[in-house]
Amino acid sequence: MFQELGKVGLIYGSDTGATEDVTRLFESFIGEDLEIIEVSEAEVEDFKRFDVLILGISTWYDGDLQSDWEDYFETFKTIDFTDQVVALFGLGDQHGYAEYFIDGVGYLAEVVLANGGTIIGEWPTQDYEHAESKAEKNDDMFYGLALDEDNEPILTEDRILVWLDQLKGEYQNLHIAQG
């Protein structure tokens, strides 16, 4: 069903297991075309060997990276993302941490873009009640999918399905554009 995305890698970090649980949903939707890697186990090469690379991160302590991502961040900043298609998703709490909602997505996006990567899967901000976010590309769009398992777990599955469809379309358009 998701062959349109080619080989998909999902690299994630999770403190209390919420992001990890969400990766299982991705697995159930994408199936055998998906390889899941915890960022604490990741090699630099794992960020470059997939047609589409999905990065998943939660945000902690007023806008900090999830702890495994934080440990990996100095290495992450050295990765050359030229020709790599990257899609990001973040978990956060839009009410409890409204000033820092999914900030981690913003930190990862900044590096991916600075190091030559192409981001697909930007996501509208309109359905969330946060105040500020480093994940905002502009007032209208996040750099990636925003999931809120603390307040809106019931929306997560549908959000992922809509987003995966969006990724397929954007990925195909990229190929058409590149010839």
Interacting residues toward ligand FMN by CB under 6 A:
14-19, 58-63, 66, 91-93, 97, 100-103, 149-150
Residue placing its CB nearer to ligand FMN in the complex, 31 or 153: 153
**Distance between CA 127 and CA 2 in Å, rounded?**
26
Q: Record the tokens describing residue 32, joined without a space.
A: 């055998």
Phi, psi of 173 (to 5 degrees): -60, -35
Place of tokens 């960020």: 47
Q: Where are the beta strands (DSSP E) in 7-122?
A: 8-12, 34-38, 52-60, 64-65, 85-91, 118-120
Query: Shortest gap between Cβ of 34 and ligand FMN (angstroms)?
Result: 18
Residue placing its CB nearer to ligand FMN in the complex, 17 or 169: 17
Query: Shortest gap between Cβ of 166 and ligand FMN (angstroms)?
Result: 22
Residue placing its CB nearer to ligand FMN in the complex, 28 or 172: 28
- The separation between CA 109 and the C-alpha centre of its own chain, rounded to angstroms, equals 9
Query: Shortest gap between Cβ of 4 and ligand FMN (angstroms)?
Result: 28
Residue placing its CB nearer to ligand FMN in the complex, 30 or 57: 57
